[in-house]
Amino acid sequence: MEPKRGAIDSDRYKLGYSIEGEGQPLLVIGSSIYYPRTFSQNLRTKVQLIFIDHRGFVPAPANAKPDDHRLEVILEDVERIRQHLGIQRPVIVGHSGHGYMALEYAKRYPSNASHVVMIATGPSHADADMHLAEQYWQEAVCPERKEKFHREISRLASDIERTPEKKFISLCLRLGARMWKDWNYDASPLWQDVYNNMPALDYLWGHAFKKIDVTKGLAQMKVPVFLALGRFDYSVAPYSSWARVRPHFHDLTVRVFEESSHTPQLEESELFDRELIGWLTSKS
């Protein structure tokens, strides 16, 4: 079945969506082009996946302001799309930094989210947590993986000089040795035709996620949370770094995927699907 595609206008940002599958609705925040490529076809037979853009993946209007990219504005967009599509209490899904968006949405609109799924998200992007990621990288990684990383990252500056409008994509691709268990994996097809609104992405990853405190507001949020992490993920703080914040959650399930890095829904799709569906069933 072909995806149902559309878009809504939010302050002149045209936010696209793509709907696939049937069943319990899962609202996946990020890029409606990139993220459908990372979830299995099998999962679409069990749930309905609703992939939505945020402002970091669509062109900005000519007079866009920095305030247009605040996390609070992004969350309002998510709610606007949910209302537009008439979805009642979906599962809110966010991968990497978008995991913060999923969690913060559930805090802000707790009656409009049934569950939260965070995939490959660290407790924050603050310097202390990124230091733990770097320490894990230095102490746990074989020389061959490190050599691959240094070879690739040395080419990043020329990538950005050549196509500055694709800086986010270039960074993700050059970080491949930190973000995929198979450090030779070519992720470029996943990014084909994905737009980068760099002011928004720079603000979100460079400021909002560095300052975020995931524990704030958790005492009032009763929505169950599933946290999926990859054993070989060297791009965010390691699994152990969640220890200090776990007691603040009302209902948190953590699953570490042993053969994955930053994208377990793709790297171990069969196991990921089974674990996710099992968890959703147990929390229904």
Active site residue 262: yes
Active site residue 95: no
DSSP string for residues in 85-149: HT--SPEEEEETTHHHHHHHHHHHSGGG-SEEEEES--S--SHHHHHHHHHHHHHH--HHHHHHH
**CA–CA dist 208, 36 (Å, integer):** 25
**CA–CA dist 83, 86 (Å, integer):** 5
Which one-letter DSSP state was computed for residue 249? -
Write down the catalytic residue from 124, 233, 261, 269. Answer: 233
Which one-letter DSSP state was computed for residue 60? P
**Strands across the sheet with 4-10, in order?**
4-10, 13-20, 47-53, 24-30, 91-95, 115-119, 225-230, 252-257
Active site residue 18: no
**CA–CA dist 198, 64 (Å, integer):** 12
Segment holding 186, helix H or strand E: none
Q: Which residues contact 74 (CB under 8 A, 6 or more apart)?
A: 54, 55, 101, 204
Q: How many CB atoms are closer than 10 A to CB 146?
A: 16
Write down the catalytic residue from 54, 77, 262, 273. Answer: 262
Write down the catalytic residue from 96, 235, 261, 269. Answer: 96
Q: Taken in order 38, 194, 10, 7, is the CA torsion positive or negative?
A: negative
In three-state form (DSSP H/G/I as H, E/B as E, the rest C), the secondary structure along 4-29 is: EEEEEEECCEEEEEEEECCCEEEEEE
Q: Could you list the active site residues?
A: 96, 233, 262
